[in-house]
Amino acid sequence: MGDESKNSTEDSTQVNQDELILAQQRQIEKEISESIPLVGELEQISSLNKEYSNDEVYLEKIKDLSSKYKSIRRTRPDGNCFFRAYSFAGLERLLDKKDEFKLFYKQAEESKNVLVSLGFQQFTVEDFYDTYMEVLKRIGDIENVEDAKKTLHYLFNEQGYSDYMVVYLRLLTSGQLQKDQDFYSCFIEGHRSVADFCHQEVEPMYKESDHIHIIAACAALNTGVRVVYMDRGNNKSVTEHDFPEGCTPSVHLLYRPGHYDILYP
């Protein structure tokens, strides 16, 4: 009996601590969502300096970065940043290239059937597909490129649309992984099947992206990306990596541990 009451005291302390952690986590999430837009405005590369004012390693690398890129567009660090940044930057670039956009649009139109044939549920895939196509259509219909880009930026900051774009790209990525599972299975750690990996690490929102996500997303959208790595490593310059290797990248992303932003040459 005595033990029981002791247990319950411990439990209630536990509760309080857990609730404090939860509350703090909520608070952090709230602060992030209030202070950082889903997809930010264009900023100069030098705007990164203020984040690292006393950090020689980073300052040196930012210098190197600014010799290669003009500007940066920050995205919200919510675990979806790769998908959101990649999707936004890819579409933004396509708006400058009408022919490529048309081709991309056509592929996107067919993508739902591809997913359904892979075994995805028609009902829910349709939900995300419809919104995805609606966004493509809306920006594609605008004659003036600058106006189209503004609309794209607006839609990517509307949580509803923006998240739907992310989900659909996650589904496409999952589809790609499952389609080529013989290849991708070599890169999956632990004893998980590709399908399990997709259900656990690709399809759920807020799950962060790894190389394998990036490779599959690039293959799914047929859009190469250059990821520029900037961390506290010893070399003085930033490291670049193209996905798929040897491609001419259409999208440039800056990676700092745990987060992707968009870069503009």
Partner 1 sequence: MSLEKKYNLKSPGVKRLMREARELAEPTEEYFAHPLEDNLFEWHFTVRGPPNTEFEGGFYHGRILLPSQYPMQPPNIILLTVSHHPESWQPSWSIRTALLALIAFMPTPAAGTIGSLDYTPEERQQLAKKSKNWECVVCGKISENLSSKSKSTPKLTKEETTLLQQIALKAEEDTNKKEEPILDKKEGSTNIFQANEVRQRMTNSHSTQNISEALANEYTETEVSLNRSGV
**Among residues 125, 88, 132, 91, which one has the least CA distance to residue 108?**
132
Q: Does 171 bind partner 1 (CB under 8 A)?
A: yes
Of 66 and 157, which has the nearer Cβ to partner 1? 157
Per CB under 8 A, contacts with partner 1 among 93-122 are: 119-122
Q: Is residue 197 close enough to count as binding partner 1 by CB under 8 A?
A: no
C-beta neighbour count of 212 within 10 angstroms: 19
Q: Rank residues 12 and 107 by Cβ distance to partner 1 and give the closer one.
A: 12
Q: Which of 153, 213, 252, 259 is catalytic?
A: 259
Q: Is 78 among the residues known to form the active site?
A: yes
Residue 125 binds partner 1, judged by CB under 8 A: yes
Residue 186 annotated in active site = no
How far is CA 13 from each of CA 1, 16, 75, 87, 250, rounded to the nearest angstrom? 19, 5, 38, 45, 53
Identify whether 81 is a catalytic site residue. yes
157 within 8 A of 41, measured Cβ to Cβ: no
**Residue-level length of the chain:** 265
Task: Please list, in sequence order, all residues whose beta carbon lies within 8 angstroms of the beta carbon of residue 242, skipping any fewer than 6 positions away.
Answer: 224, 225, 226, 227, 249
137 in contact with partner 1 (CB under 8 A):
no
Binding site for partner 1 (CB under 8 A): 4, 7-8, 11-12, 14-15, 18-19, 22, 25-26, 119-125, 127-128, 131, 159-161, 163-164, 167, 171, 195-196, 199-200, 203-206
